[in-house]
Amino acid sequence: MSERRKKRDFSEEFKHQMVKLYNAGKPACEIIREYELTPSSFRKWVVRINASGSSRIADNRSPEEVRLIALEKENKQLRMENDILKQAALIFARRS
């Protein structure tokens, strides 16, 4: 069984430098091997940085995705409030 790599954090500047190397013509396999990157992470950096200039997922969301996330958050909050109100109604009903 192979050992798992420790999670490493890379700066935004480092990611941009790796994508610049790739866009300048250096093969992805060489960059991945030389800097010991995971292929999936490197591919994500390339796609995101070339699309929006940022490797952060939040910067690459469409307006529809942002709206959906906000609505899901609001829905979760409202469900929680509704559950609390139901519990309160049961408690008050017992006291009467």
**pTM for this model (two decimals):** 0.58
15 — pLDDT class (breaks 50, 70, 90)? very high
pLDDT of residue 8: 85
Does residue 52 contact residue 59 with C-beta atoms inside 8 Å? yes
Break the chain into its structural domains and give their ranges: 9-60, 62-96
Which pLDDT does position 46 carry in this prediction?
93
For 39-56, write each residue's pLDDT tens digit. Answer: 999 999 999 888 887 777
Q: Which residue shows structure tokens 């909050």?
A: 77
